[in-house]
Amino acid sequence: MSPSPPFLNADLNDINLRIVACRRCPRLVAHRAQVARTKRRAYRDEAYWGRPVPACGDPAARVLLVGLAPGAHGSNRTGRMFTGDGSADFLTPALHKAGFANQGTSVHAADGLRLDDLYIVAVAHCAPPGNRPSPEEIARCRPHLQAHLQALPNLQVVIALGQIAFQGVLRAIELQGRPLPVPRPRFAHGVEIALPGITLLGSYHPSRQNTQTGRLTEAMFERVFARARRLLG
């Protein structure tokens, strides 16, 4: 996959073109550009993507994976979601084991990775300072998530990585006029929520903060994707 892939689904391609061209959040525009200029010493000879990172995956996917935001020296460098950093190193083997990826590594945009039956988006498509977009920035990016929820014709399962992504999915669904359960669902690792037309699964985000402390283990992560597989039947 390339940083701006030619999708068979014209709606998805149009959404991605809008994402890559977006400049709605001045703080994020400045940050992603600064990171691309200064770079990290290990990548000083590489040309950084330095723009909003488009969604990627299988346009016929039944599973939507929702992350938080691109890593400054991962996706913001490579131009592809969950590529070239520690989160990618933890996520991609789990996808491969569950049959959602053709290989267990995701290091650069031309490495041959192919996602099968899975599509990846984020609640914020620009790398934020401190790896944390503001609520206002997430709100400005939310129309892209709403558009993806409408443009994936076979969608059955949504996996939200972390509480911010989980709440972002709920809000996007709510804004589409679909009712949410009462009381409002709360995030937890492994939580499963039946929503109109889809099932929402929650997982801790595969950040180094979670994986290196043992808060999220490989076995815990693999169980989430195995459950998604079972839900697909």
Q: Is the pLDDT of residue 2 over 90?
A: no
Give the Cα separation of 210 and 215 in Å (integer): 5
Q: Top-level CATH class of 10-232? A: alpha beta
Cis peptide before 3 (omega within 30 of 0): no
Q: Is the pLDDT of residue 5 over 80?
A: no
Q: Whole-prediction pTM value?
A: 0.94
Residue 6 has a pLDDT of 38
Residue 194 has a pLDDT of 96
Q: Is the pLDDT of residue 167 over 50?
A: yes
Contacts of 226 (CB under 8 A, 6+ apart): 98
State the pLDDT confidence band at 8, using cuts at 50, 70 and 90. very low
Q: What percentage of the chain carries pLDDT values higher than 70?
A: 96
State the pLDDT confidence band at 9, using cuts at 50, 70 and 90. low
